[in-house]
Structure 1
Amino acid sequence: MIKRDHQILVLNRNDPVWPGLTFPGGHVEPHESFHDSVIREVKEETGLTIFSPKLVGVKQFYDQNQERYIVFFYITNKFTGQVKESNEGTLSWMTKEELLKHQLAYNFDRDLPIYFDAQLNEHLLDGKRDELF
């Protein structure tokens, strides 16, 4: 999550499998640190260079083959550059209240509390449970 004053940069994804609003992000490349991957992915998807991303939580879930996925949630308000859209989708700055009025990407509404509640830091979604810790 990239914050600017009281606004958040959101991505309206073009992906027909996972459409809707979410935060910029992506995958970790081989031999890449999580820290470096979040900086790289944000640059690729937004044109911004972020600094000092802070890890605020994790999500774990299982795909249709029961392969475990782990997602790391980061926040920063330190960046340079101009917003530039990529083929991932359109970008816009919104308040939290505006964000909640739009169609969110599947299950993204369950991830948002981790970004906004310092008491939470994990989302477990395993087919049997959907819990925040």
Structure 2
Amino acid sequence: MKLNTLCYIESGNNILMLNRNKKKNDENQGKWIGVGGKLEPHESPDDCMIREVKEETGLKLIDYQLRGIITFVLPKWEDEICFLYSATQYEGTLKECNEGELQWIKKEDVFNLPLWQGDTYFLDDLFYLNQFINIKLVYNEQDELVKVCKYT
């Protein structure tokens, strides 16, 4: 099982989203997601998230919070546990990302983007509720969502 981080950075009513359109053999190809990536040896989830945000965006996070844990079950890919973060303060200038196009999107417009189907089950809570998110999203071979388990 793979361990990842995923961070959604807020600026006012906008969320920084990444259109994954540059890497070959990308499990997220064509989808819009937050920024983040795979934990490296000896990294904590916080270490990984801070490093990945800096690498992918050029931004240094000042204020961030662990908001949840997502378990992704994907038959075509390795299952993963993802540490979900939100961030509200940062410094630096946004740079070009080698994994895709970064864009600030209004919160309400995020749901109109090509997302993973399961993302809608946690993004609304992430954007509008202040509670810890614990969810399992199960996909089939065609990348269709077949089961959602929300835990309290």
TM-score by length of 1: 0.86
Deviations 1:7-61 (A, max 9, x none): 1111111155322211111011100111111010001111111123200111113
RMSD (CA atoms) = 2.3
Alignment-derived partner of residue 12 in structure 1? 19
- Asked if structure 2 preserves the Cα contact closer than 8 Å seen for 1:58 and 1:72, the reply is yes
Runs (4+) of structure 1 exceeding 6 A deviation are: none
Unaligned runs of 5+ in 1: none
Cα pair 1:120 1:132 within 8 Å, conserved: no
**Equivalent residue, structure 2, for 1:122:** 134
Spell out the pairing of 1:77-116 with structure 2 (5 A cutoff).
77-116=88-127
* Alignment partner of 2:10 out of 3, 27, 38: 3
What's the % identity of the aligned pairs? 35
Residue equivalent to 2:66: 55
Residue from 24, 29, 36 that aligns with 2:40? 29
Q: Quote the Cα distance in structure 1 between the aligned partners of 2:102 and 2:27.
A: 18
Residues 72-97 of structure 1, C-alpha deviation per residue, up to 9 Å, x if partnerless?
A: 11011110111112111001111111
Q: What is the TM-score with the length of structure 2 in the denominator?
A: 0.76
| Structure 2, gaps ≥5 residues long | 1-7, 140-145
- Using the alignment, how far apart are the partners of 2:51 and 2:16 within structure 1? 16
How many equivalent residue pairs? 133
